[in-house]
Structures are given as structure tokens and as C-alpha cells.
């Protein structure tokens, strides 16, 4: 692994069409290359020179964690789907045929988990949907800037992979902040806006300013959050990019306006904080007045060891970041390749926390971002002679659910909340009746909107 801290200051990216141009892949045989291309035809692939040269230990590939995190692996598709795509590539099938088969596979990969399209879309006072936004939790609105719907490199586990595969109907995006500000003014209980994607940090500072500046005038807004992988995948964004200083001045202006600026940084492995430029980037972000909070899912073959998480959290604390979340891999995309049983995830979390000082114990987890909310696996206990998972909401669609413990039968193989059964004789979890009502109301809104469109068309 090369510490390419200053040599890779010019951004160079490789996509699915460039796999044969990456010199480090020259050692792969023809079958391996074909499988890699087959996966990249279905799931998004994008990597940059810094990740390739500075973060991947090529002497350990294909077992290197950063290699698995960024390069397509054959196990990311079901074997039958992989073989189908390999056969099409081998015989030189037209791009249209490849795309059609890829769409069939993508449709089976739960492209928008947790009801994002059905349950999370907010509406303006006029009743019109607020484009490019999601509002799931009372205090926080997610906003997807149109020009921020890509990343410096893609994570192979990404739960928002559907944003990157070229289907507009799967994308959340908006180029306007005026409707967003209208929505925030009409909903003063919203204290936080999270700019997300993709990665807003792919935008030039002048363009990012166009999205952030209007938010600073919304009196009820307290916090501007920016979800980003740039500190790990392209730390040059904050250090050597031509507008890095301008970007940091924008951060300072957010603070000067009396708003809290939270950079929600995605660090998946300690290697991402091992380079000098990554550490300098973190120092510059903090120096501009932002608080950096860190999060990542627990991923088989990448960071599913307690020692890895302990090293990651200790490094984050050492460089001034606040460990925030350990997530469970979401039920979408290549989840079968990465998922870890909930019982093991809890063991990894507890073992890692024990190895850290109290300053790293701000990390909460393992947490599932389900349709109902962020469900924490809080422990395993024995109640009334039954072994159970102890669960609670860290965030929820109904704030009254937060912090209320509930119990599921212990299942050593369960990997997601849908695998769990209520314990202690309960027929369902306490929140499920209300979730049915929420889904029913959402379906009625969709039917009403479809009826209104039909009437307009008829007139």
C-alpha cells in the first residue's frame, strides 16, 4: 500500500468501462475479469486513483478489505444471475440486452429499502411532493442535491446504489432549495437538514454554497448536516483541491450564521484514516468549525472483527472525530455478500467497545435502519425462561416509540429485523399495528394522486 498523500492530487476516476485500464488488476485471469465486469454491469462501480494507490494493499488482494469495499466481487450477485451476465458478456451481447438483464436483477435487489419512496416523501403546504427530499424522523429532513448524486468512489455495500444505475425513477434529486426552505418554514419542528446523495462533497464549493446559503436564513433550522465519504475516499477535497479553502470558508460561514455544522463522515476501515492527507483533511474540517461524526455498517470480510472497529474508533477519537453509529448492513443490493448475523454483530460491537476508552463509547450499535426506525440490538437476555434479543428504537417514525424496549426470540441466524419473531408470547411487535396504518395511509395518497392525474388527463 502506497502513502500517496501528495502524488494523487489530480482526481482520476475509473468506471466499469475502465477495468482493463487499472494496472493493479493485470494479474487477474480472464474469468476473474469477466466476473468483475458482469457485477459492474448490475451494481455501480467507481473508484479513483487515490483509493487504488493509497488505500488498497494489493499484496493482500482479493482479501484486502479496501479492495472488497470498492471493487466488484463475484459473490455480490446470485450465482445464476452472475452466470447469465457472464454469458452475455462472453458472446458480446448488445448494450441494450445487457441493460435489460441488469434491470431484471436490480428489481429483485430491493432498490429502495425501508419504504423510502412510499413513506418518506414530504409534501409542501400545497400538497405537492417535495422533490429530492425525504422526511422520516420528526426533526430531520434529508435533501438530495441533483449535482451531488455521485461519489468520489462507490462503496460496494452502498444501500443507495439505486441512485447510480441510470434509472431516473429510482433517483431522489432536486436542484432547487426554494421549495425546501418553504417546507422548513411550514414545519418549524424540523431542526436538522442532512444534505446527502451520493455525496454533496463532489460539488464545487460555489455550487454547494447555492444549496447551503438559503438554509442559513431559516430561523428554525439549527443544524446543517453533510453526509460524505470524501474524507476517506478523496481527502484532497479539503486540502489540495483548487477550491478547498473556499469550501472551508463556507463551513465557517455556517457556524458564523449560528448554525451547527455536522459532517457525517463514512469511515469503514482504519486504512481510510492511515494516510497523512486523510488526517490533515480531518484537522482542516474541524478547524473550520464543523463537528465530524462517523458511521459505517458492519460488513463481512471488511470490518467484521472487534479489533478492526476498536482500531477505527480509537483513530477517530485521536483525530478529533466522534464515533456515532455502527449499522447493520441494509436489506438491499449485495447484502447477502456482506451481511453478518445480528448475534455476531452484537458480539463484535460489545467486544470493540470494551477495548476503547469512554470517549469512543459514543458509537451506538448495532443498529438497523428499518422502515419503522433505527432499531438497536441492545443485548441478549433470558426472560421467563426464554432467550431473547433486547431491542429499542434510537429513532422512530413515531417519537413515542424511541427508547421503549421490546423483545424478539433469539435467533443465531437472523440478519435483519424481518427475520425476528416477537418473544414472550406476543403476536407482533408493539409498533406493527401503527406501521400498518402508516402504510395504508401512504397507499391511499398514491391512489388519490393517481386519480387526480387521470382526471387532469381526461380534461
The pLDDT value recorded for residue 459 is: 54
Residue 134 domain-assigned? yes
Could you give the CA distance from residue 337 to residue 333 in angstroms, rounded to a whole number?
9
Which run of H or E residues covers position 386? strand 386-396
198 neighbors 149 (Cβ within 8 angstroms):
yes
Integer Cα distance of 9 and 231 in angstroms: 14
Q: What does residue 79 show for φ and ψ, rounded to 5 degrees?
A: -55, -45
Residue 458 has a pLDDT of 56
pLDDT given at position 206: 97
Q: With residue 15 as reference, give the H or E element that holds it.
A: strand 13-15
- pLDDT the model gives residue 7: 43
- Residues 119, 195, single domain; the answer is yes
Specify whether 178 is located in the same domain as 37: no
Question: Do 117 and 33 sit in the same domain of this protein?
Answer: no
**Closest among 64, 77, 63 to 34, alpha carbons compared:** 77
User: ∠ at Cα 379 (374, 384), nearest 5°?
Assistant: 115
| Strand 140-143 to 192-195 pairing | parallel
- Any idea which residue has 447551503 for its cell? 212
Domain contains 1: no
The residue out of 107, 134, 160 marking a domain boundary is: 107
DSSP H stretches of helix in 72-204: 79-90, 95-107, 116-119, 178-186
- pLDDT tens-digit map of 246-290: 999 999 999 999 999 999 999 999 999 999 999 999 999 999 999
Secondary element (H or E) of residue 227: strand 223-228
Ranges assigned E (strand) in 92-206: 133-137, 140-143, 192-195
Residues of the chain with pLDDT under 70: 1-8, 114-117, 166-173, 445-459
Pairing of strands 192-195, 406-409: unpaired
Are 359 and 221 part of one and the same domain?
yes
Q: State the total domains in the chain.
A: 2
Q: In this structure, what are the phi and psi dihedrals at residue 213, rounded to the nearest 5 degrees? A: -55, -45
Which CATH number fits the domain that encloses residue 273? Answer: 3.20.20.70
Q: How far apart are CA 403 and CA 395, in angstroms?
A: 8
Q: What is the DSSP string of 168-195?
A: GGG---BS-SHHHHHHHHH-TT--EEEE
Whole-model pTM: value is 0.92
pLDDT at 254: 98
Q: What is the pLDDT of residues 213-251, one digit of tens each?
A: 999 999 999 999 999 999 999 999 999 999 999 999 999
Residues of the chain by 3-state class (helix, strand, coil), percent to 5: 45, 20, 35
**In angstroms, what is the C-alpha Rg of the chain?**
22
Measured CA to CA, the distance from residue 16 to residue 163 in angstroms comes to: 16
376-388 burial by CB neighbour count: b if 16+ within 10 A, else e? bbbeeeeeeeeeb
In terms of domains, do 164 and 101 share one?
Answer: no
**Length of the chain in residues, anyone?**
459
**Which range of residues forms the domain containing residue 216?**
113-436
Q: How many CA atoms lie within 13 A of 457 on its CB side?
A: 6
DSSP structure class, residue 330:
P
102 and 125 in a single domain? The answer is no
Domain membership flag for residue 259: yes
103 & 236 share domain: no
Task: Indicate whether 22 and 92 sit together in one domain.
Answer: yes
Pairwise CA distance, residues 185 & 172, whole Å = 22
Q: Are 67 and 180 within one domain?
A: no
Handedness of CA 294, 299, 302, 303 (dihedral sign): positive
Amino acid at each position: 500500500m502506497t502513502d500517496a498523500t501528495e502524488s494523487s492530487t489530480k482526481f482520476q476516476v475509473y468506471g466499469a468501462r475502465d477495468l482493463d485500464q487499472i494496472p493493479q488488476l493485470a494479474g487477474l485471469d480472464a474469468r476473474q475479469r469477466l466476473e468483475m465486469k458482469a457485477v459492474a454491469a448490475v451494481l455501480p462501480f467507481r473508484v479513483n486513483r487515490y483509493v487504488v494507490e493509497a488505500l488498497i494493499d494489493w499484496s493482500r488482494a482479493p482479501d484486502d478489505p479496501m479492495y472488497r469495499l470498492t471493487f466488484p466481487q463475484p459473490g455480490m450477485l446470485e450465482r445464476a444471475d452472475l452466470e447469465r451476465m457472464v454469458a452475455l458478456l462472453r458472446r458480446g451481447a448488445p448494450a441494450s440486452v445487457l441493460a435489460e438483464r441488469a434491470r431484471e436483477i436490480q428489481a429483485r435487489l430491493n432498490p429502495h429499502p425501508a419504504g423510502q419512496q412510499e413513506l418518506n416523501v414530504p409534501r409542501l403546504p400545497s400538497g405537492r411532493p417535495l422533490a429530492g427530499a425525504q422526511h422520516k424522523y420528526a426533526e430531520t429532513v434529508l435533501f438530495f442535491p441533483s449535482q451531488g448524486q455521485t461519489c468520489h468512489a462507490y462503496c460496494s455495500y452502498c444501500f443507495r446504489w439505486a441512485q447510480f444505475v441510470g434509472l431516473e425513477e429510482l433517483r431522489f434529486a432536486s436542484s432547487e432549495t426554494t421549495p425546501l426552505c418553504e417546507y422548513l418554514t411550514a414545519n418549524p419542528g424540523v431542526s436538522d437538514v442532512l444534505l446527502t446523495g451520493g455525496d454533496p462533497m463532489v460539488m464545487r464549493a460555489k455550487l454547494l454554497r447555492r444549496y447551503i446559503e438559503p438554509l442559513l436564513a431559516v430561523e428554525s433550522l439549527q443544524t446543517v448536516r453533510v453526509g460524505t465519504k470524501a474524507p476517506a475516499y478523496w481527502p484532497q477535497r479539503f486540502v489540495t483541491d483548487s477550491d478547498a479553502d473556499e469550501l472551508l470558508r463556507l463551513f465557517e460561514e455556517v457556524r458564523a450564521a449560528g448554525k451547527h455544522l455536522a459532517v457525517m463522515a463514512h469511515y469503514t476501515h482504519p486504512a481510510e484514516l492511515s494516510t497523512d492527507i486523510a488526517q490533515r483533511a480531518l484537522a482542516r474540517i474541524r478547524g473550520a468549525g464543523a463537528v465530524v461524526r462517523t458511521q459505517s455498517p458492519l460488513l463481512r470480510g471488511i470490518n467484521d472483527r472487534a479489533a478492526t472497529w476498536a482500531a477505527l474508533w480509537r483513530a477517530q477519537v485521536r483525530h478529533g472525530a466522534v464515533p456515532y453509529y455502527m449499522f447493520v448492513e441494509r436489506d438491499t443490493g449485495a447484502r447477502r455478500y456482506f451481511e453478518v448475523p445480528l448475534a455476531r454483530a452484537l458480539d463484535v460491537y460489545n467486544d470493540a467497545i470494551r477495548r476503547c476508552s469512554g470517549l469512543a463509547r459514543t458509537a451506538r450499535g448495532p443498529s438497523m435502519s428499518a422502515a419503522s426506525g433505527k432499531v438497536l440490538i441492545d443485548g441478549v437476555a433470558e426472560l421467563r425462561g426464554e432467550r431473547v434479543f433486547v431491542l429499542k428504537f434510537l429513532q422512530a417514525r413515531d417519537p413515542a416509540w424511541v427508547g421503549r424496549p421490546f423483545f424478539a426470540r433469539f435467533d443465531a441466524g437472523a440478519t435483519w429485523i424481518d427475520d425476528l419473531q416477537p418473544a414472550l408470547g406476543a403476536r407482533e411487535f408493539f409498533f406493527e399495528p401503527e406501521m400498518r396504518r402508516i402504510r395504508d395511509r401512504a397507499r391511499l395518497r398514491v391512489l388519490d394522486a393517481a386519480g387526480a392525474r387521470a382526471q387532469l388527463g381526461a380534461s
